[in-house]
Amino acid sequence: MAINLEIPKKHRALIDQAHQVAMNMLRPISRKYDIAEHEYPKELDLLAAMIDGLEESGASEGAGAAGVRREGIADDKTVKNGANMASVTSIAEMCWGDVGLMLSFPRQGLGNSAIASVANDEQLARFKGKWASMAITEPSFGSDSAAVSTTAVLDGDEYVINGEKIFVTSGERSDCVVVWATLDKSLGRAAIKSFVVEKGTPGMKVERLEEKLGIRASDTAVITFTDCRVPKENLMGSPEVNVEQGFAGAMATFDNTRPLVAAMAIGCAQASLDLTRDLLKDAGVEIDYDKPANLQSAAAARFLQLEADWEGARLLTLQAAWMADNRKPNSLEASMAKAKAGRVGSDVTLSCVELCSSVGYSEAELLEKWARDSKILDIFEGTQQIQQLIVARRVLGLSSAELK
């Protein structure tokens, strides 16, 4: 099956539409909600309604949160560019507008991607239209998702959840939270499952909202669960603990969300490159794509290097999405895309601040904001170091116990 990383013709209308929204609706309010941290961007309600309408009509595949679902047998004769490809390309355009606002879109949370990836058909129908955030990280651990200590104990027809989750994106605004909890800590990774906990469930409490370096338009919450009773039907995936399968069921979610985060970094970095190119031109610095970098000014040479790194990250992200659409295992490629794009995004945005000097550092332009926003994209959904560890394990064929 041949891969083609050109933007599919059928997705160009969606991408163009996303770019127009980013330019005309997100950019104008970007600074406003960066300053007004924790204030809900009401302007997003109209955009959310537009996305809902596109999904309902079937007019725009991938307009909403997509999931990696590989049921059935792949057709090696047909190359698909489906919902995953549409999602990463349109998300990149939206983040060209504003990362924090994109993360604040109703019903487009990381929890929605988790539900789309692992929920059964009944759950997909039941949670349709819900805004879902995702709760993994705890005070006792950051990147090691296998260290989950929040517990879920079956009691009759309900699971009783106890624990604390931190850094929950859209944790206050969402309708429900996908919570990672262990059925039995002694059984290790295999006992970790994900549960959909709806807001208003007794025992679930948003304790506080974090003040952050960037993506200030997005709320980030601390949530506690105290004897929180959840219907057993809200467990996603199999309730059985399969030690042989290990952590695979829970980690399948990341095969979907990591390319999405990589796409966010690509979009934010592209915004910085586009503006910096214009500012350098205004300052008399010409970038010549037909001349070797070493024969140009230092600023132009540095800019060309940044663009080349950005293109590598973009292609890795498209590859991971393409593999998901074509039902191919993409865990390695998802981590490669996240690692490359996360690092490149931070490097590009901060380097653009440097290239533009005082203009880049001041609030006269959005360059300094993009540099702040991009840093989280190298951290959440698995840090740079964790992605490199995962890639090394996959390439060397070693387990997590063999390579720590």
Catalytic (active-site) positions: 381
Is residue 375 within 8 Å of residue 382, measured between CB atoms?
no
Cα angle 14-17-19, degrees, rounded to a multiple of 5: 110
The H or E element containing residue 177 is: strand 176-182
Tokens (6 digits) for 157 = 């027809």
Torsion of CA 227, 139, 258, 353, to 10 degrees: 140
CA pair distance 313, 103, nearest whole angstrom: 20
CA-CA-CA-CA torsion for 180, 257, 218, 143, nearest 10 degrees? 50
Torsion of CA 116, 121, 127, 130, to 10 degrees: 30
Give me the helix-helix angle, 12-21 and 83-97, nearest 10°.
20
Is the torsion defined by CA of 267, 269, 272, 277 positive or negative?
negative
Between the alpha carbon of residue 27 and those of residues 23, 31, 171, 274, 321, the distances in Å are 5, 8, 24, 14, 26
DSSP type of residue 46: H
Q: Say how far apart CA 247 and CA 252 lie, in whole Å.
A: 9
Distance separating alpha carbons of residues 41 and 250, to the nearest angstrom: 32
The 3-state DSSP class for residue 94 equals helix
Q: Which residues contact 172 (CB under 8 A, 6 or more apart)?
A: 206, 209, 219, 221
Helix%, strand%, coil% for the chain, nearest 5: 50, 15, 35
Please give the structure tokens belonging to residue 263: 């796409």
